[in-house]
Amino acid sequence: MKGKPTFTVFTPTFNRAHLLGRAFQSLKNQTFRDFEWIIVDDGSTDETQHRVTHWVKEADFPITYIWQPNSGKHVAINRGVELAKGELFVILDSDDWLVPTALERLLYWWETIPFKDRGNYTGVAGLYAYPSGKVVGSPFPAPVIDSNAVEIRTKYRVKGDKFGMNRTEVLREFPFPENLGRFVTESLVWNRIAKKYRIRYVNEIFAYKEYQPGGLSARSIELRAQSSAAARTYYREFVELEGFYIPFFDRLRACANYVRFSLHGKVSLRNQFKEITKKGLYLLSLPIGLMVYIRDKKVLSQKASPEKLVSGEKK
């Protein structure tokens, strides 16, 4: 490979040495070979570094490995974007693996966008499948849709995780905030990007996903409560989005979650009301947000109790 690669494939990982080999094998099997692999290890204590050191000697594509103190996936993504040499940036989670033609087909779909229009697009997105082959969530309602990360959910009602790529320069334009806690939902950044750029969505499976017990998806409520500043920022920004088709009940639900995670962050109702611009919607959502917050407290206290007993702590 000469010069800069077309793709940077990026993998953030934490104690997933037992899974990374599957991702590595899928990269070895790619029909399109002009890519690099960057791994940012978010503080692993297992054999991740040892295995990657071996793969560096074996692979016929460049591999860059960086270890950082445990800081969160969003910080790892920022590091990966900083290091990336590729024009196009693919996030391949440690529990994902690519179909053999994934990079070839992502590039094909990217090049179906007229060159003069590509500056208005951040990238291409397609489908994940479970190991069984079943599509994760729902497919897109048409073979090809040019839309954005907000309207694909709110207007087209597409559900579930999707897989794709972004232009590296767009991700540098919209870095993840690193001052909002240890967990920042990726949707916070995707929604910000949606204000400026479009995505070409295609009904094609590019990767497989196997959700892990104890992973980020499984611990969603706990993580958002612990990083309440990030959660409340995400929901407030969604509530206040302008220029998009967003059904009323979607905004209402988001506003209730804004209340919910503001309370987890010990932000008073008075300060919440001062901060948010949609005052009427806030008042309507307030009882719902309060009820869900109370439910969260019960659920989280029940989850914490066995851990305290095991560690010898008292309730």
User: Alpha-carbon distance 213 to 96, whole Å?
Assistant: 14
67 and 97 in a single domain? The answer is: yes
- CA 53-57-62 angle, to 5 degrees, is 90
- Single out the residue in 167, 189, 209 at which a domain terminates: 209
pLDDT (tens, 9 = 90+) of the chain, 315 residues, equals 567 999 999 999 999 999 999 999 999 999 999 999 999 999 999 999 999 999 999 999 999 999 999 999 999 999 999 999 999 999 999 999 999 999 999 999 999 999 999 999 999 999 999 999 999 999 999 999 999 999 999 999 999 999 999 999 999 999 999 999 999 999 999 999 999 999 999 999 999 999 887 665 547 888 899 999 999 999 999 999 999 999 999 999 999 999 999 999 999 999 999 999 999 999 999 999 999 999 999 988 887 654 433 333 332
197 and 68 in a single domain? The answer is: yes
Asked whether residue 2 is assigned to any structural domain, the reply reads no
Q: Kindly give, in sequence order, each residue whose CB lies less than 8 Å from that of residue 14, ignoring residues fewer than 6 positions away.
A: 41, 42, 43, 44, 70, 94
173 and 272 in a single domain? The answer is: no
- Residue that the structure tokens 């990083």 belong to: 227
Tell me the H-state helices in the chain. 17-28, 48-58, 73-83, 102-111, 151-154, 168-173, 186-194, 220-226, 228-239, 248-264, 269-275, 279-310
Q: What is the DSSP secondary structure assignment for residue 117, as one 8-state letter?
A: G
Secondary structure element (H or E) that encloses residue 130, with its range: none
Asked whether residue 215 is assigned to any structural domain, the reply reads no
Q: Could you tell me which of 230, 231, 244, 78 has the C-alpha nearest to residue 149?
A: 244
Asked whether residue 246 is assigned to any structural domain, the reply reads yes
The number of C-alpha atoms within 13 Å of 105 and in the hemisphere containing its C-beta is: 18
- Single out the residue in 176, 209, 242 at which a domain terminates: 209
- Single out the residue in 174, 209, 244 at which a domain terminates: 209
201 and 271 in a single domain? The answer is: no
User: Alpha-carbon distance 89 to 110, whole Å?
Assistant: 12
88 neighbors 199 (Cβ within 8 angstroms): no
Instruction: Tell me the torsion sign for CA atoms 140, 141, 143, 148.
Output: negative
Asked whether residue 269 is assigned to any structural domain, the reply reads yes
The pTM assigned to this predicted structure is 0.91
Asked whether residue 135 is assigned to any structural domain, the reply reads yes
291 and 163 in a single domain? The answer is: no
193 and 272 in a single domain? The answer is: no
User: Alpha-carbon distance 81 to 138, whole Å?
Assistant: 29
Secondary structure element (H or E) that encloses residue 96, with its range: strand 96-98
Asked whether residue 38 is assigned to any structural domain, the reply reads yes
17 and 58 in a single domain? The answer is: yes
User: Alpha-carbon distance 251 to 174, whole Å?
Assistant: 23
Asked whether residue 1 is assigned to any structural domain, the reply reads no
Length of the chain: 315
Q: Kindly give, in sequence order, each residue whose CB lies less than 8 Å from that of residue 237, ignoring residues fewer than 6 positions away.
A: 188, 191, 192
First and final C-alpha spacing in the chain? 59
134 and 244 in a single domain? The answer is: no
User: Alpha-carbon distance 22 to 272, whole Å?
Assistant: 45
CATH number, position 77: 3.90.550.10
User: Domain span at residue 48?
Assistant: 7-209
Asked whether residue 139 is assigned to any structural domain, the reply reads yes
Question: CA–CA distance from 238 to each of 14, 188, 222, 278 (Å)?
Answer: 29, 8, 21, 11
65 and 124 in a single domain? The answer is: yes
Number of structural domains the chain divides into: 2
264 and 153 in a single domain? The answer is: no
Both tokens of 137, joined, read 């969530």
167 and 249 in a single domain? The answer is: no
